[in-house]
Amino acid sequence: MLQDKSDRMNHMNSQYRELGQTFRLSQAALEVGIFTVSELESLTGVGANTIYTFVSQLGEEYIRSEGLPSSGRGRPRKRYKLTEAGLAMLAAQNANVLAAMGRVRTGSTATLQQLLQQIMKLPANERSVLINQVRQSTEQPAAEAATVQYETAGS
């Protein structure tokens, strides 16, 4: 009966899957404010190692950590708290992604691949700005990222 909720796909995860893990982690972290890796794992379905990478990349300006009592085995556990600057940065970052999508999106079910295809149809100056926003805020499969780089360079 015990089933970690990370096994299931929650609503936001399924709807914004194409936006990447960073978007989902940022949104969940914004909502909760203070969290452990296992709590974020449960809310987003994203793997623990990816979450450790996410929090370590944020840096001290945006996130603080507090050690938790250890059970003596495994990686030391920590509770993380977003600073005000961290809340601001993640909210702005996610807003940028959504704004970028709204700029190019014609339907409501575009995948990341479709989004990128639509970005490619924009004038070069608008394209590079949007690509940077999406790239900074989402984790794209390597093949898609490579396509963007190639087509941007060739424009």
Partner 1 sequence: MRERLDALLLFASVLRPLVVSLSKATDVEGKPRWFNILDILAERIASQVPNLTHVSETTLIWKQFTSDLSIASLKPLAAGVIQSIQRELEKSLAAWNPNFGLDYLVEANGRASRRVAQMEVQKLGRQQAETVPVLLLIEYDPKSEQQHASSVRGTSEIRWRLQPEEYSLWGALIADRVFEHEYFCHLLPVNTHLSAEIREGFLDGVLQFQHSLCTTTGADEALAESWWNYALHRFRDDLWDHFDETLDEDQLKLRNLGQSPKRRGSNYWRLVGTVLDCPEGAAEAQQLKEMLLRL
Q: How many CB atoms lie within 10 A of CB 96?
A: 17
- Long-range CB pairs of 127-133 (<8 Å, 24+ gap) are 127/152, 127/155, 128/152, 130/100, 130/103, 130/104, 133/96, 133/97, 133/99, 133/100
Complex with partner 1: residue 39 or 151, whichever CB lies closer: 39
Complex with partner 1: residue 7 or 124, whichever CB lies closer: 7
Complex with partner 1: residue 76 or 154, whichever CB lies closer: 76
Shortest distance in whole angstroms from residue 12 CB to partner 1: 6
Shortest distance in whole angstroms from residue 149 CB to partner 1: 26
Which residues contribute to the site for partner 1 (CB under 8 A)? 1-5, 10-12, 15-16, 27-28, 30-36, 38-39, 42-43, 64, 66, 68-71, 73-74, 77, 79, 81-82, 84, 87-88, 91-92, 94-95, 98-99, 101-102, 105, 108
Answer whether 82's CB lies under 8 Å from 29's CB. Answer: yes
Helix axes 124-137, 21-32, angle to 10 degrees: 60
Answer whether 41's CB lies under 8 Å from 50's CB. Answer: no
Complex with partner 1: residue 114 or 152, whichever CB lies closer: 114
Shortest distance in whole angstroms from residue 91 CB to partner 1: 4
